[in-house]
Each structure stands twice: as structure tokens, then as C-alpha cells.
Chain A
Amino acid sequence: MNSITETKTPTIHQIADLLTDVASELMTSGAHTMRIIQNISRMAETFGYYIDLSVFQLSIMMTITSKSDQSERITVIKKTRPLLLNFTFVSDLSSLSWDTYDKQLPFDEVKEKFHAIISQKKMSRWLVLFLVACANASFCALFKGDLHAVALVFIGTTAGFFVRQEMIKRHINHLVVFTTSAFVASLLSGLGYALHLGNTPEIALAASVLYLIPGVPLINSILDIIEGHILTGTARLVNATSLIVCIALGLFSAMLILGLEKL
């Protein structure tokens, strides 16, 4: 009896655990609902099961049924983590699901590959900080801000995004993070008014908080609604809107301090 080399068939519980882990990781990384369902169904089919999946903002619910034996069926609910965009994960997990399907990969290998994907290193935070500041500064130039405005936005965004990175690292509430970092960015960018720099200080102030706009959640929400996942889409939309309100509040308090009326 050589039981070590023999490949064990995974139990339904092991498969359900892996699939919900993948689904929750996709949700956290910012995939839209249709993609999550497609990827997970594909993987489940490879292992000889089919699934019914509901995706919500804070949890996913999945019933997994064996194709060969209808009575072998369990339902799993798994919490998802708060949104932390990561498109490398979305892309790689999507590839993994096709690989699993096309090459009929065994369960253990899929699990190994999944853990390899989610432990990938991220881009250096300082590079991200620099690129975001450049992006927002060029945004200011798009709105026809002059050089003073562009420079102010660069400084404001650097400070604001740094604050955001630090606060996210400390797991502070998302809404607080957005308000604070909008406040810091707009206060610094609004200094053009106080110091009478350049001719377009209002553009600097307006552009300073644009890097915070939750663009991907907004796009995902509309896409979900179009594809019929109205509940998830609405949840994402409400979430994104509340972030925008928070950003506007941060901007508004900075304007109050600077004594400005109009934007």
C-alpha cells in the first residue's frame, strides 16, 4: 500500500473553502460580479461540482453541489475583506480559472497557485505616491491650471496620498481616511489663494482631490446594474457615493478655513 503518492480526492468542504477564498479575494480586489461568478463556476466545474453564488458587499454565499451525487451539497457563507483594489489578482485569478479548466489541474496544484498569486509583492508605495502626484498634477494642467497651480497640486496630492497610505495601513475607517486625506490635499493646494500664487488658484483647489474619486467602484457598480446584479451594484454605488460625500466634506472644511466661497 503506497498511500503517500496516491492523490486523494478533495472533499467537498476543501473545495468549497478554496472557491470561497478565491471569490472573496476577487471581490476585495475589485472584480465585477459577473466575472466572479464566471470564474468560480468554471473552477467548480473542473472539480466535478456546480455552484450557485450570491455576492454581497460584506459576504459571499455559495451552495456547491456534486454533479455525480445531488445529495452531496453544502452551503458556505464567507466574509469578504474591505475593498483594496488589486488588478493583478483579478487578472491572474482569471487566468488561473481558465488554466484549471483547460488543463484539468488537480486540486492541490490549484490551491498552491492561488496562494502563490495572492502572496505576490506589490508595487513600491513610494513609486505609487510619486505617480499619483504626477497624475493629479497633470490633471490640473488638463483643466488649464497654470504652473503655480500644477506645483501646488503636486505638493497637496503627495501629502494627501501619504496620509491616506498611512491611515489605510493602520486600518482606520474608510470614510475617515477619505475625509482627512481630501482635507490635507485641498488645504495645501488652496494655499495658492492665501499666498496669491498664480492666476488659477481655484483650479488647483478643484483638482487637488480628484485622485480620491472612487472610479473603479463607480464603474463596477454601473456594470453590475447593467448586467442585472442590481443589489450588489446598488451597494457599490451607495458606498462610492458616501466616499464622494466624505471627500466633498474634507474639501468644504478646507475651503472654510481658507475663507473661500466658490469652487
Chain B
Amino acid sequence: MSSNIFLLVLFDGLLAAIAAIGFAVISNPSRKAVFVSAFLAAVGHALRFFLIKSGLEISLATFVAASCIGLMSIFFAKMIHCPAEVFSFPSLLPMIPGLFAYRTILGLIRFMQNDDPVKSQEFLQNIFHNGFTTMFILLALVIGVSLPVLLFPKYSFKVTRKY
């Protein structure tokens, strides 16, 4: 059982890394940054997967994973002289709550088209559930990843300085 979950977490990390590479190249970063963001995404997403599996709620798990990415990204930023967000943002992209966002919009469309009051209530519930999940995951991602910038602002803006 325990080795099974270990494999699952590893697999999750690997897939997240591939996803992060693909989503990163859309924003045309340097080659080094692509590899770093793949690594960070793997660690972050696997951590979130593990936390959710062990019973944590999704937005809280996202917050922990994002702050982990944020802290690690500061070290990498210092190492390769590159603003932290260049690789920390792409590594967050696999965790962006896209599916919840679409479900919210599709729910809105259904709610508008429907006249059955019982079904309408169900749709409303879904809209609110998906919408708030989207919002809270998004907030958790950004606040988590910008923790280092908020805590040590001077340091974070100096990473691209070479002297």
C-alpha cells in the first residue's frame, strides 16, 4: 500500500512536469527556466496530490504546495539570475483550477436555459461550489507563491543582480 502510493505520487509528479514544460514554453522562457519550472511543478503537484490523498482539502493543499514552490524558486532564482516568477508561474499552471472555472461558466449557461425549479437549485449549488473553489484555489496559488516576495521584498527583487 505505502509503496503503491509512493509510485502514484511519483507518476503524478512526472505528468505534472511534462504539463509544466508545455505550458511554460507558451510564454517563451529561457531554456534553463523551463527545466527549473518542470522540476518545481513536479515537486509542487506531487506534494499537493499526496496532501489531498491524505485527506487535506484542495485549496489548503494547493496553498502548501504553492508556498513550497515559492520558497524553492527563490533559491533557483539566485542560482540562475532570473526573476523568480519566470519559472514559478509556469510551475503553478498545472494547478490552475481550469476545470472548475469551465464548470462554473457551463453551470451558468445551464441555469439560464432551465425552467425546472428543482434542477435550478441544483445548478445554483454547483455554480457556487465550483466558482468558490476556483477563487480559493487561485488565491491560494498566488498568495502561496508570493509569500517570499511578501516576506522578503528587498531580496526577491535583487535576484537578477549579478554583483
Contacts and interface: CB of A to CB of B under 8 A. Distances in A.
Interface string B136-163: 0011011101100010000001101111
A149 to B, nearest CB: 13
A136 interface: yes
A223 B138 CA distance: 11
A249 B143 CA distance: 30
Interface string A106-135: 000000000000000011000110011111
A98 B162 contact: yes
B29 A226 contact: no
A24 interface: no
B18 A135 contact: yes
Contacts, number: 149
Interface of A: 30, 32, 35, 38, 85-88, 90-91, 94-95, 97-99, 102, 122-123, 127-128, 131-136, 138-139, 141-143, 206-207, 209-211, 213, 215-216, 218-219, 222-223, 226, 244-245, 247-249, 251-252, 263
20 contacts: A87-B28, A87-B29, A91-B30, A91-B160, A102-B163, A123-B28, A128-B25, A131-B25, A141-B15, A143-B99, A211-B26, A213-B93, A215-B96, A216-B93, A222-B142, A222-B143, A226-B142, A244-B102, A248-B101, A252-B105
Given A95-B81, A99-B162, A226-B146, 16 more contacts: A86-B28, A87-B27, A87-B89, A102-B163, A131-B22, A139-B19, A142-B94, A143-B99, A209-B102, A210-B99, A211-B23, A213-B96, A215-B23, A216-B89, A219-B85, A222-B139
Interface of B: 12, 15-16, 18-23, 25-30, 33, 45, 81-83, 85-86, 89-90, 92-94, 96, 98-99, 101-103, 105-106, 109, 138-139, 141-143, 145-146, 150, 157-158, 160-163
